[in-house]
Amino acid sequence: MITATQGVHVTSDCGACGGVLVRDLGQFVDRGLLRWGVEGRCWTCSDAWCETGTGPAPPEIRQALLAEHGASRLRLATGQAGLVPVLRALRETYDLSLAEARLKAAELSGAGLVGTSVEMAYLAEGLCKRSLTTTLTPAPACFV
């Protein structure tokens, strides 16, 4: 089982008092599940909260992670991989329809899929469970 985590600190104005609100945004793999979390706390007032979820991160979290850490590209290591195990891995990992999985499989076999390093590590583990070898590399900034 993989251990992958990525986070970023974001500051903004507190909606309650106008002070400095600090939010810790993160994405991680926990017990085989892709998860995300937000913890926020105002340095001036007592406003604080924590929120977590399973599955793809909300766009605000995902974009903050990509802006801070850059994107990663996942490709199948060999062009010899059979389509069926790739489709099964994609459908099991992300609960995709067959048509959606076919599109993702074509990307994996070609230019590769691009996302956060945690998203790509999570998918790489799902593909590895089907005995599929992958390569994970940083993606150029223009792909974010």
Q: Could you count the other beta carbons within 10 Å of the beta carbon of residue 34?
A: 24
pLDDT in tens, 101-141: 999 999 998 899 999 999 999 999 999 988 899 999 998 76
pLDDT in tens, 38-86: 999 999 998 999 999 999 899 999 999 999 999 999 999 876 668 899 9
Q: Which residues are 51's β-sheet partners?
A: 38
Q: Kindly indicate the confidence band of residue 142, based on its pLDDT and cuts at 50, 70 and 90.
A: low
CA distance 89 to 129: 8
pTM reported for the whole predicted model: 0.87
Q: Interhelix angle for 83-94 vs 117-128, to 10°?
A: 130
